[in-house]
Structure 1
């Protein structure tokens, strides 16, 4: 019987620091259903964000995980086996204030290491940060070069999604 477990995605957003390749994107996680048959697909965003008060962890429900404000792309990286366990891991990760080089991508890389070490919250998965980061940067750069983010109407459509488990694009 086929599984209908939720999926874990890496999400890329513009960071506002376009002239620094390493800091060009804001990184986070999205959780959404396997089947995305409706116009709006509910899910959640889990990430750290920098505010005037410092870095904070944020977990928010989304009406449509396929198209959040300013989302550039989703990269499917895992089938979730135990969602509460996964969320507890993400909630428990340290949020570092004292290191000026610590940021959202540092948190995501650390999260992937903890998810891999746990071995129970996800099943089939690609958790290698170096591979994910290189692919995600290239994927968004190619979409940008092809003009995907130039039109306001394009930004209202479901965002490009790549499935790293099946090595294929799953939405335009």
Structure 2
């Protein structure tokens, strides 16, 4: 019997106010319909590289930010108020609690490098390398797409971010639940034949994976 209501691992995009681009992070959450609408409840778990100032990471001299550092913590998608959209990259059995699965994921991604004082290194690179580390585990992680700096999948995610920003800005509907956020899913389709031409369509964006797997970006 096919299990429903699986936990979901997302790439999340958050707007940066007046600054260009997006903050990238990973979020482990219950299946969408089971996520809470109460922003006071942290039923998800966030993994990220951040340069946000806090008690443990003070502002760098001559700067308005802290040094880049790894962080993972219980979270709620709507609590920050600046999340604009999510891309599904993997699903996991709900027989394991989110908290336990978050510990397993954290043990892997906390070892992903964090680079400071390099203008070319960002949270986006951290997410891409964290996805590589998780995909290398195989099994249920094997479906995670390869996202590379400057690559086709990364570009499509950035396009999705722009589309999500426009959608949220022009919508008359308040975002009261995670399901109200724009979503995409990077789903494995089938093996690619050697030399096969990969189509490139806006809502069915197929890319070549290093393991010859096709991935399609589809709307929810």
TM-score range relative to shorter protein:
0.7 to 0.9
2:174 corresponds to 1:154: yes
* TM score, norm. by length of structure 1: 0.77
1:120 Cα deviation from its structure 2 partner = 4.2
Shift of 1:76: 0.4
| Largest Rg, 1 or 2 | 2
Separation (CA, whole Å) in 2 of partners of 1:68 and 1:168:
26
Higher RCO structure, 1 or 2 (CA under 8 Å, sep 6+): 1
CA distance in 2, matches of 1:50, 1:88: 21
Change in 2 beyond 3 A, CA 1:68/1:32:
same
Change (3 A) 1:144 1:5: closer
The two structures, once aligned, show a CA RMSD in angstroms of: 2.8
Gaps of 5+ in 1: none
Number of equivalenced pairs = 163
How much does 1:43 deviate? 0.8
Within 5 Å, give how 1:42-61 maps onto structure 2. Answer: 42-51=43-52, 52=59, 53-61=66-74
Alignment of 1:16-55 (within 5 A): 16=17, 18-19=19-20, 24-37=21-34, 39-40=36-37, 42-51=43-52, 52=59, 53-55=66-68
Superposition pairs of residues 66-145 of structure 1, within 5 angstroms: 67-69=78-80, 70-80=82-92, 83=101, 84-120=103-139, 122-129=141-148, 130-145=151-166
- Using structure 2 for the length normalisation, give the TM-score: 0.62
